[in-house]
Chains A and B, each alone.
Chain A
Amino acid sequence: MNIFRFAGDMTHLASVLVLLLKIHTIKSCAGISLKTQELYALVFATRYLDLFTDYISLYNTLMKLIFLGSSFSIVWYIRYHKIVRRSYDKDQDTFRHYFLVLPCLLLALLINEKFTFREVMWTFSLYLEAVAILPQLVLLQRTRNIDNLTGQYVFLLGAYRALYILNWIYRYFTEPHYVHWITWISGLVQTLLYADFFYYYFQSWKNNVKLELPA
C-alpha cells in the first residue's frame, strides 16, 4: 500500500459517501444518473468476485464490502425509495448503457491477461469502470444547473482514478515486474474522460461561480 493508492481509496470512499449523504439526507437524486450507478454496481460485482475466496487484508475486504453495499443501495434508493425516486429524471437519463456493457464484455474476452472466468470478469470490470461515468457526464450536460454535492461527487470520482495512476507509476518504479498495461490504459482513459469536467469544475471554483457545463 502506498500513499497514492490510500489517498485514491479514501477519495473514492468520499465520493460514495457524498452521494449517499445527498440521497439519504435531502432524499433527492436530482442530477444523478441511475445508469451510471447501475454500471458501477456491475463494476464492483464483477471485480470483487474474489471477495470470499482471496483474503488480502481486513482493509481490502472492508472496502470491498463498503463499495458493494453502497453502490447497490444507491441503485435501490433511486429505483425504489418512494421519495427519492420522484426526483429521478428518467427523461434526461437516457444514455443506452447497454451499449457500453456489451463492447466492454467483448473487449474483455479478446484482450485480457489470462482467459479464465475470473480474469475476464475482472478485465470487464476495468473496461466498464472506464466508461461508467459517461451517462452521468451526459446528464450533467443536459441538466444545466449542477448542485454542489453532485459536482463534488463527480469530481471525487474522477480524482480517485487520477490518484491511482500515481499509485501505478510509484509501483512500477518500486516493484520489479509490476506491469499491468490493461489496468493502466483503462485507468488513463477513465481519467481523461473527466478532463473537460475537471476543467469546468476548476473554472467555476476559481471564479467562484456556479458550475455550468457548455451545451
Chain B
Amino acid sequence: SEEEDVKDEL
C-alpha cells in the first residue's frame, strides 16, 4: 500500500 504520507509541515 502507498506509504502513509505523514504531514511533516506545520
Residues of A participating in the B interface, judged by any CB pair closer than 8 Å: 5, 9, 12, 50, 54, 56, 60, 63-64, 67, 122, 164, 167, 183
Contacts and interface: CB of A to CB of B under 8 A. Distances in A.
B9 A5 contact: yes
Nearest to A167: B9
Interface string B1-10: 0000011111
Q: Is the interface of B mostly helix, strand, loop or mixed?
A: loop
B5 to A, nearest CB: 8
Contact of B7 (A5, A50, A67): A50
Contacts of A56: 6, 8
Contacts, number: 17
Contacts of B9: 5, 164, 167, 183
Nearest to A164: B9
A122 to B, nearest CB: 6
Q: Is the interface of A mostly helix, strand, loop or mixed?
A: helix
A130 to B, nearest CB: 15
Contacts of A183: 9
A63 B6 CA distance: 16
Nearest to A56: B8
10 contacts: A9-B10, A12-B10, A54-B7, A56-B6, A56-B8, A60-B8, A64-B10, A122-B7, A164-B9, A183-B9
B10 A54 contact: no
Q: Which 5 A-B pairs have the closest CB atoms?
A: A56-B8, A63-B10, A54-B6, A9-B10, A122-B7
Nearest to A113: B5
A105 B9 CA distance: 21
Contacts of A9: 10
A54 B7 CA distance: 9
B6 to A, nearest CB: 6
